[in-house]
Structure 1
Amino acid sequence: MAGISTMLLDIFQYFNIEYMTGLFKDNVGVTTGLIFVTCLGIWWLMRKPRGIPPGPRFTLPILGDMLSLRGEEDLRIVARQLRKEHGDICSAYLGSRLFIFLNSYDLIKEALVKNGDVFSNRPSLFLTDLLTQRKGIAMSEGQPWKEQRKFALETLRGFGFGRTILEDKIHEEIEYFVEVIRQENCSNFDMCRLSQKAVSNIISSMVYGKRFEYDDPVFNVFLGELDSLFQHIGSVLNAFPFLRFLPGDMFNYQSVLNNQDYIRNKIILPSINEHMKNFDENHVDDYISSYIREMKKVSKTGQKSYLNEDQLVASIFDLFIAGTETTSTTILWTILYFLHHPKTQTKCCKEIQDIVGSGRLPSIKDKPSLPYVEAVILEVLRKANIALTGVPHAVSEDTRFHGYHFPKDAIIIPNVDAVLTDDMIWGDADVFRPERFIDSNGQVIKRDELIPFSTGRRVCLGESLAKMELFLFLTTLVQRFEFKPVDPDNLPTLQGVVGITHAPAKYQVRAVPR
């Protein structure tokens, strides 16, 4: 007991707590001191950094503000609740990590565009760090990120990224896609995996230099493993990494590792090794061979570079994640909205028939003449909100922003959901209404606030490709088929499923040839 008394006396003297020091000098009750130290320890663990944006008042050790937020894992719901209570800049601890939410277009633009030097870092997150090792295009930062992104943009532009020379490659894949749908013979079918195959094949042709047949077993397993990663990479393990030690793989930690190992060791590395073995600098026609050429060039000069095989593997991961899931998911949402709004589908079809007819495939050159179709795509991107709250950011140093303290290790959420669902911007944000993007002259309205691909230096690398794919895929699908519900009296739900993206729940559809 004497030892405890001495320890408590030292603590009180350290904190200059004169009353408790005197109490102990008079030897009045170790129990009272223990209670005080316990309360002091709880306060110490629950305290928040001074000056951070407002949020829940009491933060618990380990759990953070999860009880105040009713244990909610969907960041959109968390952000909406916090915004309602604390304003456009607010914060919360999810586990031990501080999340700061920017809940308006002006704030997001100011942070990511005007202050891009400070706000363009990526935060450290357990699962993403484990999977990417902070390499590649999406989750790296500093000079490695600049090198990977610069190389990717220059190389993909050379392959027609965002330009009309890529159109032939997309058209080729669309023809396969349409034929497989036609073989369904108006029966009920699920478009989910089919759309993934079509969109992923476009990335495959640019990265590997080849496409895969839809029944290729390796390709199908690859998409399955990739799909599993999409579902689990946003896991609660990012906030509570210790949960991975619970028995039974309750939070899919081992599954994520197995998914990654399969994709890396069975798909990506064998392709890189094959490219290395057969490399010919006079025949460089895909991303991998271009990267190998650049690595060899840098190696000869002896310059320091972050272009290496590990970075290449991570970059390929990023290209497939960015180039497959978002576009294929948007296609699925569009078809689902057609089922709920058949007049919208009919109006799209009429516009396509009037401008394109049925004798040829729609072209990207037709886009200015198909304003309603473009408006529908824009409204789907807004209403479906594929990217949820956007990809997390971090500040490169402790920062003051709008009078608040943003610690360097905080996770900054540029809340895209808050912008795309804001009635102050859209008027009736909950309503699916493509006409909001059409002006009185029948032309498409370009709204700065429509940021489904985010904004600033970290804007989605595949934005231009995604927009081209969406236009060409959807115009061709509507030109060739009328999409009908399996049961007109029981339409598939518009309630989405939250993973790495916001996807529609699985549904079946009938495609009737026109």
Structure 2
Amino acid sequence: MAGISTMLLDIFQYFNIEYMIVLFKDTVGVTTGLVFVACLGIWWLMKKPRGIPPGPRFTLPILGDMLSLRGEEDLRVVARQLRKEYGDICSAYFGSKLFIFLNSYDVIKDALVKNGDIFSNRPILFWLDLVTQRKGIILSEGQPWKEQRKFAMETLREFGFGRTILEDKIHEEIEHFIEVISEENGGKFDMRRLCEKGVSNIISSMVYGKRFEYDDPVFTGFLDELESLSKKIGYGSVLNVFPFLRFLPGDMFNYQSVLNNLDYIRNKVILPSINEHMKNFDENHVDDYISSYIREMKKVSKTGQPSYLNEDQLAASIFDLIIAGTDTTSTIILWTILYFLHHPNIQAKCYKEIQDVVGSGRLPSMKDKPSLPYVEAVILEVLRRANIAMTVLPHAVSEDTSFHGYRFPKDAIIIPNADAVLTDDKIWGDADVFRPERFIDSDGQIIKIDELIPFSIGRRVCLGESLAKMELFLFVTTLVQRFEFKPVDADNLPTLQGAVGVIHAPAKYQVRAVPR
């Protein structure tokens, strides 16, 4: 640019055009100044805070690093790409939001366990705030979260969480479940909705005090809305980065549609149940979560002490419990059946072990678990390979924090990347291979591997982990005991490629359950 300017000045001077010389000098000065200011502004917009974990260098204003990350929708793929280039702690900008990825077990444990006081917050994200309004058990924080979680843990433990008294409730539901499957007479069918109904009824019996018939229109409607909600939030995740896009015509990012889903779940399912419990409340007959919560609210109200136990928090907690207690376990059951289709020899080995220990005259029980190590190993391997949470729910730090030599700003979105741990060849050797034997030692006993963290770790560990493990064992053992699962077309097996959404679910598939 300097060379061209000099050449033009020489031409003007040769023709003695003094006015043009003055005008050109002024124009060049103004233009140079504007270019300088523009460059300075772009540099300032692209400038990253000092000390944050490494990540893509060329960060654009507004878009952040999204172009350099190739527009991937699957956050696992993005995290793998970043880890490969930048290591176990790295970062990227999605729009103006800073995401920090924790990509190894040691780093995740250091953050969520050893520094749990600092790393237990939840970040500000559009969908999280819209869906939960920062209430309830899973996505609230601070004192409200501590109070809701403490009450939930104590109450659910009272109703059998983690204890064998819950087994009768699960067995009761399994009887209904296998009866419906038997009615298919070995024909092809889709197990997805049936699994959701069976699993949801278990947590529903604890929360509402009753189970639903499988053809109940309200129950079916709730599961329809829940499935729709999960898909839409997954496909509309761009609103977490650019929330203003929800105002575009046509609801292309599902904002209004999600509001309709939430409205149905709240007003057709949750609130009517709360109102019914309030109307018929009897403190001498408290046998479900809602009644227990109402009793505690009344008790606290009499003391006059400040409390976050209120009807809004109750509604949000019910939402958390029912959704977490439905989607996760039912999805793992679907993955287990899908892996059986791909590995019939593993299904046959599970059946033989169950026959040797339990036989066919009674339902498998939790007392049988120590004697069924191969079945347990299969479930553990499904939890590892399916990794339905993909990445643990996002965390945030309570204040600007120094961690492993990097600066973690308070407003950063921290992703404890469970996928990086569950697919790490350094831990598992052949992480891409479905091999249950990795969890069995030379004596035929289950090996406890700390790096198996599908339920997360630390203070935000999944509240329903013990229930989920009990459900999975009892459902899977009973299903294998009663049915042989076969593909509809042995030459065209359903894909193991999961679908993008709030959780990592298998694509819809049909199966044949042949009675044994």
Match of 1:460 among 439, 458, 462: 462
Letter in 1 for 2:60: L
Q: For each residue in 1:294-322, what CA deviation from the matched residue of structure 2 results, as whole angstroms up to 9, or x when unmatched?
A: 00000000000000011011111110121
CA RMSD of aligned residues (A): 1.1
Name the structure 2 match of 1:356. 358
CA distance, structure 2, for counterparts of residue 266 and residue 96 of structure 1: 37
Which structure 1 residue ranges, 4+ long, deviate > 3 Å from structure 2? 25-28
Give per-residue Cα distances to partners, 1:151-177, cap 9 Å, x unaligned.
000000000011100000000000000
Contact kept in structure 1, 2:375 and 2:477, CA below 8 Å? yes
Describe the SS at the equivalent of 1:29: helix
Q: Is the CA contact 2:233–2:254 (under 8 Å) kept in the aligned structure 1?
A: no
> CA–CA distance in 1 between the matches of 2:28 and 2:105?
59
- Per-residue Cα deviation, 1:38-82 (whole angstroms, up to 9, x for no partner): 111111111111000000001112211000001112110110000
Matches within 5 A, 1:435-446: 435-446=437-448
Partner of 1:342: 344
1:397 is aligned to: 399
Aligned residue identity for 1:61: P
Same amino acid, percent of matched pairs: 86
Match of 2:135 in 1: 135
Partners of 1:98 and 1:208 lie apart in 2 by 40
1:233 offset after TM fit, Å? 2.8
Q: 1: CA distance between counterparts of 2:41 and 2:261?
A: 42
Q: Paired residue for 1:219? A: 219
Deviations 1:414-464 (A, max 9, x none): 000000000000000000000000000000001000000000000000100
Structure 2 partner of 1:93: 93
Distance 2:159 2:110 in 1: 33
What's the secondary structure of 2:489's corresponding residue?
coil
Give 1:364's aligned amino acid: M
Contact persistence 2:104–2:420 (CA under 8 A):
yes
CA contact (8 A) 1:345 1:478 kept: yes
Matches within 5 A, 1:324-343: 324-343=326-345
Within 2, Cα distance between the matches of 1:50 and 1:296? 51
Q: 2:412 aligns with which of 410, 420, 430?
A: 410
Which residue, 286, 291, 294 being the options, matches 1:292?
294
Counterparts of residues 246-265 of structure 1 (less than 5 Å): 246-265=248-267
Structure 1 stretch 466-475 or stretch 314-323: which is displaced more? Answer: 314-323
Tell me the distance in 1 between the aligned counterparts of 2:297 and 2:369: 39
Query: How far apart, CA to CA, are the structure 2 residues paired with 1:220 and 1:377?
Result: 28
SS of 1:378's equivalent? helix
State the structure with more CA Rg. 2
1:34 match: 34
Deviation, 1:36, is 1.2
How far did 1:497 drift?
A: 0.5
> Counterpart of 2:189 in 1: which secondary structure?
coil
Match of residue 268 from structure 1: 270
Whether the 8 Å contact between 1:73 and 1:236 is mirrored in structure 2 is no
SS in 2 for 1:413: strand
Per the alignment, residue 426 of structure 1 pairs with: 428
Tell me if structure 2 keeps the 8 A contact 1:421–1:430.
Answer: yes
* 1:173–1:198 contact (8 Å) kept in structure 2: yes
Question: Where do 1:82-121 residues align within 5 Å?
Answer: 82-121=82-121
Structure 1 residues 3-82: aligned runs within 5 Å: 29-82=29-82
Paired with 2:43 and 2:73, the residues of 1 have a C-alpha distance of 26
What residue in structure 2 maps to residue 243 of structure 1? 245
1:157 is aligned to 157
**Displacement of 1:28:** 5.8
Q: What SS does the aligned partner of 1:135 have?
A: coil
Q: Shift of residue 227 of structure 1?
A: 1.1
Aligned to 1:233, what secondary structure does the other structure show? helix
- Alpha carbons 1:170, 1:202 under 8 Å: kept: yes
Aligned partners of 1:28 and 1:470: how far apart in 2? 74
Instruction: Quote the Cα distance in structure 2 between the aligned partners of 1:334 and 1:468.
Output: 15
2:205 corresponds to = 205
CA contact (8 A) 1:181 1:511 kept: yes
Conservation of the 8 A alpha-carbon contact between 1:58 and 1:65: yes
Flag structure 2 segments of 5+ consecutive residues without an equivalent: 1-24
**2: CA distance, partners of 1:393 / 1:416:** 13
**1:282 pairs with one of 281, 284, 295:** 284
CA distance in 1, matches of 2:241, 2:174: 41
- What's the secondary structure of 2:138's corresponding residue? coil
Task: Show structure 1 runs of 5+ residues with no match.
Answer: 1-24
Residue 192 (str. 1) matches residue 192 (str. 2) = yes
- Distance (whole Å) between structure 2 residues aligned to residue 224 and residue 62 of structure 1: 36
Q: Which deviations, in whole Å up to 9, do the C-alpha atoms of 1:110-137 show, x marking residues without a partner? A: 0000000000111111011011111000
Match of 2:3 in 1: none
8 Å CA contact 2:126–2:240 kept in 1: the answer is yes
User: What's the CA shift string for 1:326-374, capped at 9, x where partnerless?
Assistant: 1000000000000000000000000000000100000011100000000
SS at match of 2:91: strand
> What TM-score do the two structures reach when normalised by structure 2?
0.94
SS of residue in 1 equivalent to 2:253: coil
Cα distance in 1 for residues equivalent to 2:415 and 2:347: 35
Contact 2:208 2:289 in 1 (8 A): yes
Name the counterpart of 1:14: none
Amino acid in the other structure paired with 2:405: G
For the Cα contact (< 8 Å) 1:128–1:233, is it kept in 2? Answer: no
Q: How far is 1:264 from its partner?
A: 0.5
Aligned to 2:13: none
Counterpart contact for 2:401–2:408, Cα < 8 Å: yes
Deviation at 1:27, TM superposition (A): 8.6
Give the letter aligned to residue 459 of structure 1. V
Matched letter for residue 219 of structure 1: F
Corresponding position of 1:383: 385
Alpha-carbon distance in 2 for matches of 1:254, 1:49: 35
| 2:108 counterpart letter in structure 1 | I
Tell me the SS of whatever aligns to 1:400: strand
In the aligned structure 2, how far is the partner of 1:342 from the partner of 1:398? 52
Query: Do the aligned partners of 2:340 and 2:346 also contact (CA within 8 Å) in 1?
Result: yes
The CA deviation at 1:232 is 2.6
**Cα deviations by residue, 1:89-145 (Å, 9 ceiling, x for unpaired):** 000001111000010000000000000000011111101101111100011111100
| 1:493 alignment counterpart | 495
Question: CA, structure 1 residues 30+478, in 2 after alignment: closer, same or farther (shift >3 Å)?
Answer: same
Amino acid at match of 2:332: T
Q: How many pairs does the alignment contain?
A: 490
Q: Distance in 2 between matches of 1:135 and 1:141?
A: 8
Q: Distance in 1 between matches of 2:365 and 2:500?
A: 33
Letter in 2 for 1:99: F
Deviation at 1:281, TM superposition (A): 0.2
Structure 2 letter corresponding to 1:51: G
Equivalent residue for 2:228?
A: 228
In the alignment, the residues of structure 2 paired with residue 392 and residue 426 of structure 1 have an alpha-carbon distance, to the nearest angstrom, of 25
> Which residue in 2 is equivalent to 1:5?
none
- Structure 2 residue matching 1:394: 3-state secondary structure: coil
1:191 alignment partner AA = M
Q: Is the 8 A contact 1:208 1:286 kept in 2?
A: yes
Secondary structure, in 3 states, of the residue corresponding to 2:188?
Answer: coil
Partner amino acid for 2:514?
A: V
Structure 2: which amino acid aligns with 1:471?
F
